[in-house]
Amino acid sequence: MSLKYYNTGVVFQEIPDETTLSVNISNCPCRCPGCHSSYLWEDVGETLDEAAIDAFAARYGMGITCISFMGGDADPLEVVRLAAYIHQRYPRYKVSWWSGRQYVPANVDKSQFDYLKVGPYLSHLGNLQSPTTNQRLYKKTPAGTFLDITHHFQHHS
């Protein structure tokens, strides 16, 4: 199976302290109730492969610091392969993966990611800004482990 992406956008809130190119991947199998991107449930868009990554790098250059795969749960090993390609070809970029699964599959090489977000969107628990969220964002440490940084999104008054 090949991945497809529906659209992209430069965003500033998904990954703390990064200017991120968000790549919205279609054909999402998670189908979370209340999903704000249900259009990504369909198998639509352009092929997401090395040529697409090269085009992103050419277009955005130093204007971004991170590439974030938003989805890709239909083929997580392809997400890993593309993350490895980015690290090898464009080492200046960090790579993140936002998965709708509760856990990263055991066969996924997490070392290819600088950030991992996991957890389906459950409207009654809220998104990352909610203190009751089930979603978690992890940042890879210099030791190669992952630190939960979800609290960076939660502003307590």
User: pLDDT tens digits, the chain, 157 residues: what are they?
Assistant: 689 999 999 999 899 999 999 999 999 888 877 777 888 989 999 999 999 999 999 999 999 999 999 999 999 999 999 999 999 999 999 999 999 899 999 999 999 999 999 998 888 888 888 888 899 999 999 999 999 999 888 765 4
The answer to whether the beta carbons of residues 69 and 79 sit under 8 Å apart is yes
> Which residue, among 87, 6, 1, has the nearest Cα to 46 in the 3D structure?
6
Please tell me the pTM assigned to this model. 0.93
With left for phi above 0 and alpha for psi between -120 and 50, is residue 34 left, alpha or beta?
A: left
Specify the 3-state DSSP secondary structure of 55.
helix
